[in-house]
């Protein structure tokens, strides 16, 4: 049976570039996904992390991204994101603005509320 | 609290004036975010020569809080999650309400946060059995930490035995402060 996913629109208080620091390369998505996974693993622990399996699905702008998680660990992921208050010694907060079962509806919501330009990725 | 179509309305209390920063409560999923000092009178119980009638007071000294309640303050904003049974019984008898902020829980980390969660769970269990009206709020000073409805609700659900009860206590702020 196919596992169900949930997409979460997340806004960071700091820019992704500032969070990555020297790790900011051409493949920003991959580096940022690694960074988020590391901090989510710390907040959720091994058991809840495997229930959530968070992945950065898309970076929409300098501060906004979409996180793809398993439906089973959706609530844990939202709380885990709220509990991250430092990344690479930079004080930060991640605010979850919207969640949906499809990435398309999240992108549409983002375009209608926050962006004039079409989303990247 | 529900709107005309039966949809639950969510409320929060912030310790800064978000209107100056262009933050929209709707974008964060709230029907309204009240502002301390603007929409709700929030006073330190230790300050003198203040009119406490209708205000929400905060202080770590419970005897001071009780005396301000007698002077007309209608609610208490907790600064820690420590359970004082005598004080809760006083609130229950006088029909005063309690505001329980999660800002400390968010700013702590590791064992301190686990301690906060444990104390908060005990406190809430006692508040529910004592039938004290209370609401869970963010009450952050920092606009960057003004979390969304989704986050406030799911963090609240960590400390309630029943998730539906958590929902009831993040939607009742407007009714308990009497801002109808």
Q: What pLDDT band is residue A121 in, cutting at 50, 70 and 90?
A: very low
Could you tell me which residues are beta bridge partners of residue B137? Answer: B101
Instruction: Give the Cα separation of B79 and B101 in Å (integer).
Output: 8
Residue among A11, A106, A19, A113 nearest B146 (CA):
A11
Average pLDDT score over residue span A73-82:
94
Q: How far is CA B66 from CA B79, B105, B178, in A?
A: 15, 25, 20
Chain B, window 85-144: residues with a beta carbon less than 8 angstroms from a chain A beta carbon: 106-107, 109, 113, 142, 144
Query: Quick one: fold of A5-113?
Result: Alpha-Beta Plaits (3.30.70)
Residue extents of the structural domains in chain A: 5-113
pLDDT of residue B88: 92
Give the count of Cβ contacts less than 8 A between chain A and B.
Answer: 44
Q: How many CB atoms lie within 10 A of CB A100?
A: 16
pLDDT of residue A57: 94
| Parallel/antiparallel/unpaired status of strands B134-137 and B97-101 | parallel
pLDDT of residue A101: 95
pLDDT of residue A115: 65
ipTM score over 0.95, yes or no: no
H helical segments located in chain B: 62-70, 85-94, 103-107, 111-130, 149-159, 163-169, 173-177
Q: What pLDDT band is residue B148 in, cutting at 50, 70 and 90?
A: very high
Q: Does B18 touch chain A (CB under 8 A)?
A: no
Mean pLDDT value across chain B: 89
- Separation in Å, CA of A85 to nearest CA in chain B: 7
Show residues of chain B in contact with A95, CB under 8 Å: 28, 146-148, 151
Domain annotation for chain B: domains and CATH numbers: 11-177 (3.20.20.140)
């Amino acid at each position: 049976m196919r596992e169900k996913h949930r997409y979460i629109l997340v806004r960071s208080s700091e820019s992704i570039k500032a969070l990555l620091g020297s790790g900011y390369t051409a493949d920003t998505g991959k580096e940022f996904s690694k960074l988020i996974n590391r901090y989510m693993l710390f907040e959720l622990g091994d058991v809840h992390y495997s229930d959530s399996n968070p992945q950065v699905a898309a970076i929409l702008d300098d501060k906004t991204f979409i996180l793809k998680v398993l439906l089973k660990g959706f609530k844990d992921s939202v709380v885990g994101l709220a509990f991250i208050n430092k990344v690479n010694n930079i004080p930060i907060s991640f605010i979850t603005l919207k969640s949906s079962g499809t990435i398309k509806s999240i992108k549409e919501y983002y375009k209608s509320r926050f962006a004039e330009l079409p989303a990247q990725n | 609290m529900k709107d005309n179509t039966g949809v639950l309305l969510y409320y929060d209390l912030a310790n800064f004036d978000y209107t100056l920063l262009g933050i929209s409560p709707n974008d964060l999923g709230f029907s309204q975010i009240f502002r301390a000092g603007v929409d709700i009178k929030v006073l330190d119980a230790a300050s003198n020569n203040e009119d406490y009638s209708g205000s929400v007071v905060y202080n770590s000294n419970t005897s001071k809080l009780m005396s301000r309640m007698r002077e007309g303050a209608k609610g208490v904003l907790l600064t820690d999650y420590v359970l004082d049974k005598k004080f809760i019984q006083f609130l229950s008898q006088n029909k005063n309400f309690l505001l329980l902020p999660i800002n400390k829980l968010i700013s702590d980390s590791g064992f301190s946060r686990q301690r906060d969660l444990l104390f908060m769970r005990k406190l809430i269990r006692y508040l529910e059995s004592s039938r004290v009206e209370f609401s869970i709020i963010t009450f952050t000073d920092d606009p960057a930490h003004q979390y969304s409805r989704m986050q406030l609700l799911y963090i609240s659900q960590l400390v309630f035995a029943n998730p539906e009860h958590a929902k009831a206590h993040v939607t009742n702020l407007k009714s308990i402060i009497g801002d109808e």
